[in-house]
Structure 1
Amino acid sequence: MANHNDLGRTGEALAKAHLEASGYEVIDENWTFGKAEVDLIAYKDGIIIFTEVKTRSGTGFGLPEDFVDARKQRLLAEAADEYIYLMNHKGEVRFDIISVLFHRNNNHTLKHIEDAFWPSAM
């Protein structure tokens, strides 16, 4: 398995642990619809939170959160629409990004960006 896949899985595990420690209930992981995959779907205070996790080992090409572009946001919105429909959720939704940046000494920085974007497709 490629190292970037392992890094991504590690980042998602750290993000899940962060959410749970912050009082969120993680209700789904790696949920797919069409070409979209939502890394973590959480619930807190009546809000469903669709969370994109981006993990990187350096900033040579930008910060991890910089990689959630308009195309990715559109795909997440389409998946969210379907998820909301299937779950018959009548409350609020939110889109978050969790950025995990690993440093050379194997430490990491985790940044939780709440309400990071509102896709135009919603």
Structure 2
Amino acid sequence: MPSQKRKFGDVGEVIAAKYLIGKGYIVLERNYLKAWGEIDIVARKDGMLVFCEVKTREAKHVEHYLAEASINYLKIKKLQKICETYLLEKRYPTHQKWQIDVLAIAINKENKKARVKHFENAVWEKVY
């Protein structure tokens, strides 16, 4: 049985997927899992393959702990490795354009509303 934290994260991923669809993305896959990492959402828009890391927090904690701040150097390296594995496994051409986005979801449990912050190509900007 999934933990409360996992269930909460799953809700955030559903919200993120709906957000992406609303912005014109096609969601190709969710929760691509390997022993060394996971991609929350794989999507496509305008020929760009977009790997999405979803971070969900309770809204009352957002001011003290930004979800997007939890993407550190080690997490970036894991994300890059799992994305490259996905590309190889799914046999994408070597010239396929791709990026890693971060979606920070803040959920207010009291009024059942969510706020989405979408950081496009966020990982590469942090690495360099």
TM-score, normalised on structure 1? 0.89
Residues 24-55 of structure 1: CA deviation (Å, up to 9, x unaligned): 11111100233110000001111110100000
> Which structure's residues are more often helix, by fraction?
2
1:84 partner amino acid: L
Q: Which residue of 2 is the match for residue 107 of structure 1? A: 113
Structure 2 regions of 5+ residues with no counterpart? Answer: none
User: 1:12 and 1:3 mapped to 2: Cα distance?
Assistant: 14
Q: Distance in 2 between matches of 1:24 and 1:59?
A: 26
Q: 1:94 aligns with which of 75, 96, 99?
A: 99
Residue of structure 2 in register with 1:5 after alignment? 6
Percent identity, aligned pairs only, is 28
State how far apart, in whole Å, the 1-side matches of 2:9 and 2:39 are.
13
Q: Cα distance, 1:12 vs. partner?
A: 0.2
Stretch of structure 1 that moved more, 59-68 or 105-114: 59-68
Q: How many residues align?
A: 120
Which structure 1 segments of 5+ residues have no match? none
Which residue type is aligned with residue 97 of structure 2? Answer: E
